[in-house]
């Protein structure tokens, strides 16, 4: 049951983050459109979009840390094993097929 709840929360976070970023992107364009000077408008929109991207990246990293911490707690890891797992989990890429998956010590 814990796994289902954790998976549901992770999926919910994964789907809401992009919609939040999309909403903010539209807001950047709308605010930039209100600026009369074209150069200022373009500069404002670039800066705004950079902030949105940074916020989305921070949100994604926070979600990943929560996911890793939850997994470590569920696996009942402590001490050195927990530290090794978290270090691997924080830096692993779900899209890198060449990366060796974490295998807990026996």
Per-residue confidence (pLDDT) for residue 6, from 0 to 100: 58
Question: What residues of the chain score a pLDDT lower than 50?
Answer: 19-22
What is the structure's pLDDT at 24?
58
Please identify which residue in the block is written with the tokens 């909403």. Answer: 23
65-78: pLDDT as tens digits: 998 899 889 989 99
Query: What pLDDT score does 48 carry?
Result: 92
CA distances from 60 to 22, 29, 65, 86, 91 (A): 14, 23, 9, 16, 12
- Token reading at 75: 């696996």
Question: Residue 88's pLDDT is what?
Answer: 86
pTM of the model: 0.50
């Amino acid at each position: 049951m814990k796994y289902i709840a954790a998976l549901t929360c992770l999926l919910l976070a994964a789907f809401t983050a992009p919609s939040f970023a999309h909403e903010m992107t539209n807001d950047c364009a709308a605010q930039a459109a209100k600026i009369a000077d074209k150069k200022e408008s373009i500069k404002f929109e670039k800066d705004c979009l950079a902030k949105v991207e940074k916020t989305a990246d921070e949100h994604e990293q926070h979600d990943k840390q929560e996911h890793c911490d939850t997994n470590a707690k569920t696996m009942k890891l402590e001490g050195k094993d927990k530290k090794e797992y978290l270090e691997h989990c924080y830096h692993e890429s779900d899209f890198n097929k060449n990366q060796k998956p974490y295998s807990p010590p026996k």
